[in-house]
């Protein structure tokens, strides 16, 4: 049986950035366990691809994600330049439709400043001024942030995997973690083999709660999975709007429900994502997935805290709209017509790549607002690492490593190697 000092579960952007930092700091036996045949096969490639500026994140409740996003911007920019990865400065308008949403935008301006965005990078404009810049956009008012960028997070992850491997990290592909037995070391069981590791770092994305629960943690939490679908604008409508457009969340408790107009790094325009409930973090088509997964999710909902959420009539009504927007392209277009009235269903003939978000539900039936970290003596778990998780992963991963050092998980002599980014200036 192979023995490791550290096993990272999950080769998404989070597990891979953590592996990269560790590889630059220590000479240890480290592996990344990934059930697919490559890194970034799930959320880390199947996302909107926006490097977000965190003006819309409340610095009190989303402090970690906001700080990570602000610090990671320059880090990604440098890597994109070094490795020729697309870095398209699109800018973004975050628009509102009435006085109430305008008040939210005023608050975002203050959050932006508190989160470290420069004063000259954010501008609050009236709807008529936005329509001067974007004649096909209609709104009451909006924030323009010139710092928003479109990129390809999957390519970043692949690049960091190469660097990690060069520094000695082993990627174990095609290995699905089925069970974890914890004694002094952790015995990790796959279908056909097992390994042991002194510590585990759980970065399993939509399965991270399941992995934590296999270690006896967070047993009173549950999760739901929402598929975000996109439609690609046909060539002749691609430039109807030249800037990325987001909207103030109609329901603040469910900020992931509103579709946007996105300028992608490849130059295409897409609308999406919606948020269609599905039974697993990998149900990319259809609504029920395989029957065993669906039944087990149904049982979890009926017996768990997600039922409290589903008892909320507002949530149920929103979710039913999401199903409609999946079955009917026209229903999805209608939601975007609120701010781009000119678009029609026949302008979008191809679907984009869908991705799945897996927000965690607290024991009292609410969505958990920030990322959650849990630990026991030989495992560390990162759960609810949702948007803008891809944006913030290089800085966030450095914070995680700093914490692991402080908590004694990494009680080894550091032997720093040459690195793309400077750990000491980030992990403060």
Residue ranges binding ligand FAD (CB under 6 A) = 9-15, 33-36, 41-44, 47-50, 52, 176-177, 203-207, 228, 273, 355-357, 385-391
Minimum CB–partner distance for residue 49 and ligand FAD (Å): 6
Question: By C-beta, is 173 or 423 nearer to ligand FAD?
Answer: 173
> In the 8-state DSSP scheme, what is residue 367?
B
Pick between residue 49 and residue 127 the one whose CB is nearest to ligand FAD. 49
Nearest distance in Å: CB 43, ligand FAD = 4
Query: Minimal distance in Å, beta carbon 204 to ligand FAD?
Result: 4
| 130: its two tokens | 């936005």
Least separation, in Å, of the C-beta of 135 and ligand FAD?
26
Nearest one of 386, 382, 360, 358 to 69, comparing CA atoms: 386
CB of 344 to ligand FAD, least distance (A): 24
Task: Please identify, using beta-carbon distances, which residue of 178 and 303 lies nearer to ligand FAD.
Answer: 178
End-to-end Cα spacing for the chain: 38
Which tokens in the block code for residue 297? 């999710």
Cβ closer to ligand FAD: 200 or 356?
Answer: 356
Q: Are strands 194-202 and 379-383 parallel, antiparallel or unpaired?
A: parallel
Among candidate residues 182, 142, 203, the one with its CA nearest the CA of residue 20:
203
User: How far apart are CB 252 and ligand FAD at their closest, in Å?
Assistant: 19
Nearer to ligand FAD, 197 or 386 (CB): 386
Min dist. Cβ of residue 59 to ligand FAD (A): 17
Q: Which is nearer to ligand FAD, 11 or 127 (CB)?
A: 11
**Of 42 and 161, which has the nearer Cβ to ligand FAD?**
42
Calpha distance 194→183 (Å, rounded): 15
Which residue's structure tokens are 């909006």?
Answer: 142
Closest approach of ligand FAD to the CB of residue 218, in Å: 15
- Minimum distance from residue 382 beta carbon to ligand FAD (Å): 7
Q: Minimum CB separation from ligand FAD for residue 70, in Å?
A: 12
d(CA 396, CA 15): 11
- Rank residues 115 and 141 by Cβ distance to ligand FAD and give the closer one: 115
Nearest to 252 by CA among 389, 104, 140: 104
* 3-state DSSP assignment of residue 155: helix
Tell the smallest beta-carbon distance from residue 280 to ligand FAD (Å).
Answer: 11
CA dist., res. 181 & res. 294, Å (int)? 27
Of the pair 140, 223, the CB lying nearest ligand FAD is at 223
User: Which residue number, 208 or 362, has a Cβ lying nearer to ligand FAD?
Assistant: 208
* C-beta closer to ligand FAD: residue 27 or 36: 36
Strand extents, DSSP E, 69-214: 87-89, 92-96, 122-126, 141-145, 149-151, 170-173, 179-182, 186-189, 194-202
Per-position DSSP letters for 163-198, written without gaps between them: HHHHTTPEEEET----EEEESSSEEEE-SS-EEEEE
| Distance between CA atoms of residues 158 and 110, nearest Å | 36
Strand residue runs (E) in 346-423: 350-351, 355-357, 360-361, 372-376, 379-383
CA-atom Rg of the chain in angstroms:
21
What is the C-alpha separation between 33 and 53, in angstroms, rounded?
31
The CA-based diameter of the chain, rounded to the nearest angstrom, is 67
């Amino acid at each position: 049986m192979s023995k490791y000092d550290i096993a990272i579960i999950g080769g998404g952007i989070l597990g891979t950035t953590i592996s990269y930092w560790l590889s630059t700091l220590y000479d240890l036996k480290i592996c990344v366990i990934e059930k697919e045949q490559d890194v970034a096969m799930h959320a880390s490639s199947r996302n909107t691809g926006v490097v977000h500026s965190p003006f819309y994140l409340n610095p009190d409740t989303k402090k970690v994600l906001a700080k990570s996003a602000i610090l990671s911007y320059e880090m990604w920019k440098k890597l994109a330049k070094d490795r020729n990865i697309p870095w398209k400065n699109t800018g973004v308008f975050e628009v509102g439709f009435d006085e109430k949403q305008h008040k939210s935008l005023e608050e975002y301006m203050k959050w932006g400043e508190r989160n470290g965005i420069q004063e000259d990078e954010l501008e609050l404009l009236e709807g008529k001024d936005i329509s001067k810049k974007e004649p096909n956009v209609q709104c009451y008012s909006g924030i323009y942030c010139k710092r928003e960028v479109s990129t390809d997070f999957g390519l970043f992850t692949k690049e960091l995997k190469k660097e990690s491997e060069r520094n000695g990290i082993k990627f174990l592909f095609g290995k699905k973690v089925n069970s974890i037995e914890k004694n002094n070391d952790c015995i990790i069981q796959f279908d056909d083999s097992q390994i042991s590791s002194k510590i585990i770092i759980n970065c399993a994305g939509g399965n991270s709660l399941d992995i934590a629960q296999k270690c006896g943690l967070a047993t009173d939490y549950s999760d739901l999975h929402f598929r975000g679908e996109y439609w690609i604008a046909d060539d002749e409508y691609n430039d109807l709007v030249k800037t990325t457009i987001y909207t103030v969340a109609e329901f603040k408790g469910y900020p992931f429900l509103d579709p946007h107009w996105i300028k992608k790094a490849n130059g295409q325009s897409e609308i999406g994502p919606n948020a269609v409930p599905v039974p697993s973090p990998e149900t990319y088509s259809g609504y029920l997935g395989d029957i065993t997964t669906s039944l087990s999710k149904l049982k979890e909902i009926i017996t768990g805290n997600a039922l409290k959420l589903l008892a909320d009539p507002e949530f149920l009504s929103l979710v039913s709209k999401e199903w409609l927007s999946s079955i009917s392209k026209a229903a999805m277009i209608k939601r975007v017509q609120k701010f781009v009235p000119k678009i029609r269903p026949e302008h979008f003939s191809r679907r984009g790549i869908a991705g799945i978000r897996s927000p965690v539900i607290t024991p009292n039936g609410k969505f958990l607002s920030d990322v959650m970290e849990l630990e026991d003596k030989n495992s560390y778990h990162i759960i609810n690492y949702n948007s803008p998780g891809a944006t913030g992963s290089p800085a966030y991963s450095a914070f995680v490593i700093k914490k692991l050092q402080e908590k004694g998980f990494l009680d080894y002599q550091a032997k720093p190697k040459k690195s793309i980014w400077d750990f000491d200036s980030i992990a403060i």
